Amino acid sequence: MGKVFINDEIFTSDGDYVIGGFVTDKLAGFNFADFRSNLSDRVLRLIDEYIERATLYNAELGLEDPAGKAREDLALVIKDNFGVEVPYTDSVTVLDTILDTDKMQSWLLGIKENIKDYELTAYSKYRGIPNMANEMNLSSTEYMNAKYFTEESTLESFVEQVSIIEL
């Protein structure tokens, strides 16, 4: 089983774990493409979980097309929080719409800058960006917080965290 990626030079706040936290078996050598790829996987999973939960809720309410209503509601959440229309409500289009927002691009730019700064200043036994979780006590508060924000975040908490990013 992998460990939550922790490196406080890259993810500088709990909000970074809500947005882009991930679990990995990789020890080091992370680059921007890894963070972007993990973000895409994470958001797609959060979208699918949201649709599944909303569909079950809508079915309990006895709505005629519970999955369709769940996707409509998801499109409204995106519009309300990011001010953009989702052209289609399939998961990949919703993912692309979210990742293309100014706020997500700002977050990604911040991560890219953190990586660049780390690479300029770090003297480490690892090549590239290391996962510091490999050298920490997994019952420490830092690890447990990162694990919680990575594993327990929902699409709603993700969207809320992204929506407070200042441009």
Question: What single DSSP character describes residue 167?
Answer: -
Would you say 146 and 4 are in contact if contact means Cβ atoms under 8 Å apart?
yes
Residue 63, CB half-sphere, CA atoms under 13 Å: how many? 14
pLDDT tens for residues 104-155?
999 999 999 999 988 777 566 667 799 999 999 999 999 999 999 999 999 9
Q: 41: helix, coil or strand? A: helix
pTM above 0.75, yes or no: yes
Domain that holds residue 56: 3-163
Q: Count up the domains in the chain and report the number.
A: 1
Average pLDDT, the chain: 94
Question: Which pLDDT score is estimated for 61?
Answer: 95
d(CA 103, CA 105): 5
Q: 7: helix, coil or strand? A: coil
Percentage of the residues of the chain whose pLDDT score is greater than 90: 87
Question: Which pLDDT score is estimated for 126?
Answer: 63
d(CA 103, CA 167): 7
Name the burial class of residue 9, with classes exposed (0-12), middle (13-18) and buried (19+) by CB atoms within 10 angstroms of its CB. middle
